[in-house]
Chains A and B, each alone.
Chain A
Amino acid sequence: MASSPVQLDSGHDGQACCWCCSGYGGRMSLLLRRWLRAAVCMTVLASIGGCATMQPAEFFELSAESPAHKAMQTRLFETGNEKELLSASAAVLQDLGFQVDEVVREVGMLRAVKERSAREYGQEIGRFFVMVLTIGYVRNSVDLQQRISAVLITRPVDKAGMRSEVRVMFYRVVWKGDGYVERTTILPGEQRMEMIYDPEIYRQFFFKLSKAVFLEAFTL
């Protein structure tokens, strides 16, 4: 997507040069009118595109998927020992290759991070075919590096202090490498952020956590 406006611009530039060289003064205004028309079209398109994104008011509303996500990310444990749950969670995340970033014991919060390569065969093969089909003119950028983060919260759920809830959320930020379209370079470093909603990842984590605390993990 990033390459197309660049191409559009260069096309217009080329046209502008030709019109200037032809030396007709009257055509300057024609060119100007065309430019204005193009600018107006672009602005209208951009504003329509802007409307399609989610409005901020919806960000603080529970979505239809919220209960399912909560169920996937939460488990109950028959213990009131939050400290034990937090330290066991830290140990499990360490086993999974995470570095513990921050712990706030008073509110039962833990954040851990790990960086890994984000390279995938599918993308590399896709890039190769695009290069072959365009005879080397286009080399699209592929995902290079990713930072996977986990935020975990423990919370007592009954007054007697015999049950606790653990909720974990995984998400990742992916950085893209460089590429090019003809002579226009696509700079590296473009970021993409996403929540991880793969149930298997959460199941694995809670399986390990319940083994670490010697307790059964109950779903909501």
Chain B
Amino acid sequence: MGDMRTIGKMLILGGALLVQGCVAPKPGPDLLAPTEAQTKLRSFQTRTFDVADRKVAMRGVIAALQDLGFIIERANEPLGLVTAARFAEPDNLSVVEVTVTVRPQADGHMMVRANAIFNHTPIDDPKVYQNFFATLDRSLFINKEE
């Protein structure tokens, strides 16, 4: 009898779980609204450089990404877009992807924005973006020197 009661309880629990699974959570009305965290993340991901030519800035971005071991997947000069990825060595099943956009500003500076993703999850660690911009700074500086 005790066994039957336990099985009954388990069935009810299973049923409840099933019913819960059927109701998909609806996206809230503020799904696309900017949050404070997003604004903060955007400031980490954006930096302005003292470069006037977009092509020079793009080549700097590509060189910096290559130095960091990234594979350049796509580049679009008219839009100032570079997409790159690298394997999370020695773990050869994970991937880090990054999209960098380069946009000229009205004051003759260049705005660079980077979005990085680790296995489909956005990276929100400011240190990651600081490291990237430090490498980019070096790459653009070397190019200027030459």
Considering the complex, which residues of chain B in the window 49-103 have a beta carbon less than 8 Å from any beta carbon of chain A?
A: 55, 58-59, 62-63, 66-69, 71-78, 86-96
Q: Is B116 an interface residue (CB 8 A)?
A: yes
A-B pairs with lowest CB-CB distance, top 7:
A106-B77, A25-B2, A60-B131, A60-B132, A56-B118, A104-B75, A53-B91
Chain A residues close to B by CB (< 8 Å) = 23, 25, 28, 53-54, 56-57, 59-63, 66, 69-70, 73, 102, 104, 106-109, 111, 149, 151, 153, 155, 157-159, 167, 169, 171, 191-195
Rounded to whole angstroms, the CA-CA distance of A107 and B53 in the bound complex is 12
Option from A63, A104, A108, A194 in Cβ contact (under 8 Å) with B76: A104
CB–CB A56/B68 < 8 A: no
Please indicate the chain A residues that have their CB under 8 angstroms from the CB of B75 in the complex. 104, 107, 109
B66, B88, B127, B135 interface centre (most CB from chain A within 10 Å)? B66
Give the contact-size bracket for chain B: 35 or more
Option from B69, B73, B95 in Cβ contact (under 8 Å) with A63: B69
CB–CB B123/A191 < 8 A: no
Shortest distance from the beta carbon of A65 to any chain B beta carbon, whole Å: 9
**Known contacts A23-B3, A192-B92; is-contact A62 B66 (Cβ 8 Å):** no
Please indicate the chain B residues that have their CB under 8 angstroms from the CB of A102 in the complex. 74
A56, A60, A194 interface centre (most CB from chain B within 10 Å)? A60
CB–CB A191/B74 < 8 A: no
Rounded to whole angstroms, the CA-CA distance of A109 and B2 in the bound complex is 72
Option from B71, B89, B128 in Cβ contact (under 8 Å) with A54: B89
